[in-house]
Chain A
Amino acid sequence: MATGVGAAPATGADAARRMTRGTNPADRTYQAVLTGLALLLPALLLALIVELAVNARPTIERFGWGFVFNSTWDPVADVYGAGPLIFGTLASSFVALLLAVPLAFSVAIFLSEFAPRWLKRPLGFLVELLAAVPSVVYGLWGIFVLIPFLRALVVPPLKAVFGWLPFFQGVFYGNSMLAGGIILAIMVVPYIAAVSREVLNAVPSSQREAALALGATRWEAVWMAVLPYGRAGLVGAVMLGLGRALGETMAVTMVIGNRHDISLSLLQPGYTMAAAIANEFSEATTSLYLSALFEVGLVLFVITVLVNAAARLLVWRTAPGRAVGSRAL
């Protein structure tokens, strides 16, 4: 049948297709091969979801929604609740964004609006390098430099001033939500900064010029004309950073403490979904234990996909179709 189509005399529609696609069969092969390779990407996404969901079925059936809210994680009794993991993931990412967003926006604004020409390239490159540092190196640095620094110079004054707040209760041993949040903040700054910079660069200069012509100072032009124009994209940039923070594994595992607890105090150890998978996957002895970890993976995957999808759509509103952030690999 397939050969018959090729040999059939050209109809009108056929001829039209030839006109648009080129008359050369090699052209069609070329396009087909490339299309096939491109289709592997959606196929991969689908396979990921299916594989996670299938393997997570035992715990989904056993615990239902309780899995997400319960806080008991007891492999001995084969009872699993991912509450603390989900809480820890969201909390550490929130702390990270709180610290990272002002810094990242500053970098973006400085690079796109204020920086002298000679400074733009080197500073941009340094931010890029920050994104290139492997996660495990951040973790190493966190264990041996950041945590001792926090213990000696940051936590004592913090406790002295804000010790009455629920966020700074308890004894600080080092591995903690605070350390995890700070490491994450350092790691997501380059991503948020790179995307925000692209967004700000996509703001038409007529916006700035109009504001300046009306008598605005340079800062007012940025604050009243440039930032509001890029608002959707900037929100997208933050969400992109959030997606990174949610899924970051190694550095967090190395400094967050890895304990299945929910604590409001930043000084106490916590746990994240990605860290739990990293630590416990290879020691999962029962099939239900393994399934629980798959469900943790599924939850994490679904959350990051949603966050990333929303982020891309927002960013594309200001900078259409750009592979935003890909430069800061």
Chain B
Amino acid sequence: MSQARTRRRVVSTTMTALVGVLSGLAVLPLVLIFGYLVLKGASSLNLEFFVGNPVPAGQAGGGVAHAIAGSAIIVGLAALIGLPVGIGAGIFLAEYGSGRLGWTVRFVADVLNGTPSIIIGIFAWTWIVRPQGHFSGLAGALALAVILVPLVARTTEEMVRLVPHALREAALALGYPRWRTSLTIVVRTALAGIVTGGLVGVARVAGETAPLLFTALGNLNFSTHVNEPMQALPLQIYVYATGPFQEWHRLAWAASLVLILLVFGLALVARRVAVNRYGAR
């Protein structure tokens, strides 16, 4: 009797410990990846890296200014197009989404969130690149916007739903029409959360490579024309990482470090905002 009891207790303790150890193992890659990025990339982060453009293949030096500018333009445009649509759809889901249409939109948004980004890439190619006859930063921006919309819609919905019902009722009771209640009371209250969701979404699409392969294509020169092929940081990392030159590999590590610092930084900001606003999660 007590032997069985001891055995059960040992099993419980062992499994608890095992689960803890495996959890540690699961986040170990993050530590390793970040460690290697710092180790191999940090020493290359100098002025030339940020303001220089690529030098001919095989030569030492050069920078990724063209890719940083390209990424900023492409991602900025994507946010400009995708955020309003996504936020609008999100507000719809939270405010009017209790019926069948709401269920469908929610479901479709989740399914789209799981769609491989490369598929969105070929979609943008058929809709913009092929009819226009040339690759462009704009096509890349649209591909990223398409990815952004369902992401932002869902986070916006969650944030708007967190607003206490009493606030809405108070506004309506004071004679506010529904649209003003929704915009100036409910959405206004959830604004910090919505912005956070938007930031996280933008950070995510900023790291996307696959949808840019046949839209923005990449460009070895500094270009700010959205109607021409444009370089982006993730695209440049892909080219440099898979290329044959040591110098390229060095730049790929450095560019990856920059990219990941950007993404992690935004995630940290987002977390701070969310925690301040809604307390511990």
State whether the Cβ of B9 lies closer than 8 Å to any Cβ in chain A.
yes
State whether the Cβ of B116 lies closer than 8 Å to any Cβ in chain A.
yes
How distant is A116 from chain B, measured CB to nearest CB, in Å?
A: 10
Determine which of B16, B109, B249 lies in contact with A219 in the assembled complex, contact meaning CB atoms within 8 Å.
B16
List the B side residues contacting A138 at CB < 8 Å.
33
State whether the Cβ of B2 lies closer than 8 Å to any Cβ in chain A.
no
How distant is B6 from chain A, measured CB to nearest CB, in Å?
A: 11
Determine which of B151, B206, B263 lies in contact with A133 in the assembled complex, contact meaning CB atoms within 8 Å.
B263
* A137 engages B85 (CB within 8 Å): no
* A34 engages B119 (CB within 8 Å): no
State whether the Cβ of A11 lies closer than 8 Å to any Cβ in chain B.
no
List the B side residues contacting A189 at CB < 8 Å.
26
Interface string of B1-39 (1 = CB under 8 A from A): 000000011011101101110110111011011001100
List the A side residues contacting B32 at CB < 8 Å.
141, 145
State whether the Cβ of A202 lies closer than 8 Å to any Cβ in chain B.
no
List the B side residues contacting A323 at CB < 8 Å.
106, 110, 154-155, 157-158
How distant is A101 from chain B, measured CB to nearest CB, in Å?
A: 11
Interface string of B210-224 (1 = CB under 8 A from A): 100110010000000
How distant is A163 from chain B, measured CB to nearest CB, in Å?
A: 26
* B122 engages A134 (CB within 8 Å): no
**Count of chain A to chain B residue pairs whose CB atoms are closer than 8 Å in the complex:** 283
CA distance A24 to B12 in the complex (A): 62
Of the listed residues A44, A134, A186, A193, the one surrounded by the most CB atoms of chain B closer than 10 A to its CB is A134
Contact count band on B: 35 or more
State whether the Cβ of A309 lies closer than 8 Å to any Cβ in chain B.
yes
Q: Give the 3 A-B CB pairs with smallest separation, nearest first.
A: A247-B116, A134-B207, A37-B88
22 contacts between A and B (CB under 8 A): A30-B178, A35-B101, A37-B84, A38-B92, A38-B101, A42-B104, A106-B22, A106-B26, A107-B23, A121-B281, A126-B27, A134-B206, A137-B237, A141-B32, A141-B33, A141-B37, A219-B13, A219-B16, A223-B15, A247-B114, A278-B118, A329-B151
- Measured CB to CB, the residues of A under 8 A from B are 22, 24, 26-27, 29-31, 33-35, 37-42, 44-45, 47-48, 51-52, 55, 102-104, 106-107, 109-111, 114-115, 121, 123-130, 132-141, 143-145, 186, 189, 193, 217-220, 223, 240, 243-244, 246-250, 254, 274, 277-278, 281-282, 293-294, 297, 300-301, 304-305, 307-309, 311-312, 321, 323, 326, 329
